[in-house]
């Protein structure tokens, strides 16, 4: 989107937000709208009218605002409810990310104990073994595509083992995950995604049947036990929760590992500083989360009660989408916001969200990234981009900031 086009656009559509062209110029667009139009109008097809939020303080306010709901059933009357866009929608949307208190609290409690500080630290040796094993496979070649060879398999192996699902199915999860996060109301995309989600539902049904017969000490077995008790988890919630854990359990971390490596490759001084001072790793991870936020846009929130923001009335049923990527580049909060600085102080980014829906897997993602990047730099100290940074392509995707590939030589 050129500067001229940006000035002439008054409403953004879903297809524009999802385009590769938008991803390429998003930071410049965000910078402009933070100054001039922090409440930016959206047209979201069947979802109706919406607003894009770009400023940090507005993001914090709205992420905690009880007038916004994640479950549209808490906003729309029976007559107003939109028809399902996908046949398999009901089987995969009854999870905590689409729920409000008290349902959200109930669902989150069921899985929170698997992501406590103590439980995550117990995974450290396993994650280290996975990282080393993946690098063992590619190191003799002196080349790898970081996404396919390292950033994707590491977190999917971890979450698969936690959930108790076969590792041989991990490539299927990649396809299904893309269908879930690939928000679009284009008829051809809807049909394709619905087919893929139907496959996912069939897979989950088969997996749950097997776990009922042969329960084990994994997270899915624990969720099935909660479902069997009747009051804690419905069958639809069970399938939705497993889906969320599979997708959220790896998608953000893939992007964090990839985007951080890319940022280091593009900023040689910071890369060299981190190699010389590995104790800066934690700070570098926080800066990577801010600089190229893995989740660019939040999932939708529905307005349950009208309110005024920046002189504009937000009406009941309006959709709110918050750009975490823009909030994390807000100049009023982050000095020199467009500079990648691994020693940045007081880094109050919101890459993992804020409020009730703060990512419960944030600690696991940070640990996986720390081990993945530390191991990569230790074992491949001469690593570099294979090709020019301008050749790297961001995926056209609504929710995520993700590279299609990241070729590296070492």
pLDDT value, residue 272: 96
Residue 233 is predicted with a pLDDT of: 81
* CA contacts within 13 A on the Cβ side of 75: 25
Total domain count, the chain: 1
The average confidence (pLDDT) of the chain is: 90
Classified as helix, coil or strand, 354 is coil
Torsion sign over Cα 182, 183, 189, 190: positive
What pLDDT, in 10s, does the model give residues 221-251? 988 887 766 667 888 888 888 889 988 889 9
Instruction: Give the distance from CA 198 to its chain's centroid.
Output: 22
CA–CA gap between residue 146 and residue 134 (Å, rounded): 10
Residue 84 has pLDDT above 70, yes or no: no
| pLDDT tops 90 at residue 409 | yes
Nearest CA to 61 out of 41, 42, 38 is that of 38
CATH of the domain at 386: 1.10.630.10
262-316 per-position pLDDT tens digit = 999 999 999 999 999 999 999 999 999 999 999 999 999 999 999 999 999 999 9
Residues in the chain: 410
Residues 6+ apart with CB under 8 A from 56: 327, 328, 330, 332, 333, 350
pLDDT at 78: 80
Of 109-118, 267-276, 316-325, least confident by mean pLDDT is 109-118
Query: pLDDT per residue over 18-75, tens digit each?
Result: 999 999 999 999 999 999 999 999 998 888 899 999 999 999 999 999 999 999 899 9
Quick check: helix, strand or coil at residue 321? strand
Local confidence band at 6 (pLDDT 50, 70, 90 cut-offs): very low
Q: Catalogue the E-assigned strands of 318-360.
A: 319-322
Residue 185 is predicted with a pLDDT of: 59
Over residues 357-366, the mean pLDDT reads 94
pLDDT above 90: residue 387? no
Domain span at residue 231 reads 3-409
The backbone region for 267, taken as left when phi is positive above 0, alpha when psi lies in -120 to 50, beta otherwise, is beta
């Amino acid at each position: 989107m050129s500067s001229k086009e940006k000035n002439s656009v008054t409403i953004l559509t879903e297809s524009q937000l999802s385009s590769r062209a938008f991803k390429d110029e998003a930071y410049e667009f965000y910078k402009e709208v933070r100054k001039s139009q922090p409440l930016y109008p959206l047209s979201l097809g069947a979802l109706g009218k919406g607003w894009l939020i770009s400023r940090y303080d507005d993001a914090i306010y709205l992420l905690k605002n009880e007038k916004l709901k994640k479950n549209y059933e808490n906003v729309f009357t029976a007559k107003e409810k939109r028809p399902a866009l996908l046949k398999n929608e009901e089987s995969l949307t009854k999870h905590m990310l689409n729920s409000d208190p008290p349902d959200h609290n109930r669902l989150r409690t069921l899985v929170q104990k698997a992501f406590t500080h103590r439980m995550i630290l117990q995974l450290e040796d396993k994650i280290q073994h996975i990282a080393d094993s993946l690098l063992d496979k590619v190191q003799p070649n002196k080349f790898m595509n970081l996404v396919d060879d390292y950033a994707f398999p590491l977190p999917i192996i971890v979450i698969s083992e936690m959930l108790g699902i076969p590792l041989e199915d991990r490539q299927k999860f990649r396809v299904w995950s893309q269908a879930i996060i690939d928000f679009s109301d284009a008829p051809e995309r809807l049909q394709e995604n619905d087919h893929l989600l139907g496959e996912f539902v069939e897979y989950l049904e088969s997996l749950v049947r097997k776990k009922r017969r042969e329960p084990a000490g994994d997270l899915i077995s624990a969720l099935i036990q909660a479902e069997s008790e009747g009051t804690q988890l419905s069958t639809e919630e069970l399938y939705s929760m497993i889906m969320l854990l599979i997708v959220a359990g790896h998608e953000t971390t893939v992007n964090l590992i990839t985007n951080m490596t890319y940022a280091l490759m593009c900023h040689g001084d910071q890369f060299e500083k981190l190699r010389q001072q590995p104790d800066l790793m934690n700070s570098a991870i926080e800066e990577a989360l801010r600089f190229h936020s893995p989740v660019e846009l939040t999932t939708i929130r529905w307005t349950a009660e009208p309110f005024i923001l920046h002189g504009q009335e937000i009406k009941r049923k309006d959709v709110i989408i918050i750009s975490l990527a823009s909030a994390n580049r807000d100049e009023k909060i982050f000095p020199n916001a467009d500079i990648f600085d691994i020693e940045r102080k007081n880094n109050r980014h919101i890459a993992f969200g804020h409020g009730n829906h703060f990512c419960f897997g944030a600690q696991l993602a940070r640990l996986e990234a720390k081990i993945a990047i530390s191991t990569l730099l230790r074992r491949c100290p001469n690593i570099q981009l294979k090709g020019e940074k301008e050749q790297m392509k961001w995926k056209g995707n609504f929710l995520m900031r993700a590279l299609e590939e990241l070729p590296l030589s070492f």
